[in-house]
């Protein structure tokens, strides 16, 4: 799980920075970003409340992880303002991986189920 905080005005730039960070950690391959953008071209990944849940192809993933970006200022993500981005990099090749992903979604739902929890998340910062 990686947390990135920066100022960005464009969805494409946001996803590029997140994908590159994951690639540098060898979580994903160099094809991951293109697969994310291909997916984004098909339908929006916004889910409301200022949150987006983009993902790339499982074939471009070395290790299942979630990249999280909390943007200082919301950006336009298709037709909605987004301030929190969960970039999913999931492999789906074993039952264990599928089980862990199901557990992630259960925990994720509890994380974003209220405006109060989202506001706390938006205030979170990691000091490097």
Report the SS3 class of residue 77: strand
pLDDT at 9: 52
Could you report the per-residue pLDDT of 65-123, keeping only the tens digit for each? 989 888 888 888 988 899 889 999 998 777 877 777 777 767 766 666 667 767 776 66
Could you report the per-residue pLDDT of 11-37, keeping only the tens digit for each? 999 999 999 999 999 999 999 999 999
CA-wise closest residue to 55 among 67, 71, 72, 73: 67
pLDDT at 3: 46
């Amino acid at each position: 799980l990686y947390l990135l905080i920066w100022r960005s005005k464009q969805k494409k730039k946001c996803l590029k920075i997140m994908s590159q960070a994951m690639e540098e950690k060898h979580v994903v391959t160099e094809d991951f970003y293109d697969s994310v953008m291909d997916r984004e071209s098909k339908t929006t990944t916004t889910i409301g409340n200022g949150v987006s849940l983009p993902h790339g192809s499982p074939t471009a993933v070395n290790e299942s992880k979630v990249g999280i970006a909390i943007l200082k200022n919301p950006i336009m993500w298709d037709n909605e303002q987004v301030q929190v981005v969960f970039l999913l990099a999931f492999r789906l090749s074993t039952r264990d991986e599928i089980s862990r992903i199901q557990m992630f979604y259960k925990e994720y739902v509890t994380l974003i189920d209220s405006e109060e929890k989202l506001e706390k998340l938006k205030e979170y910062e990691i000091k490097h």
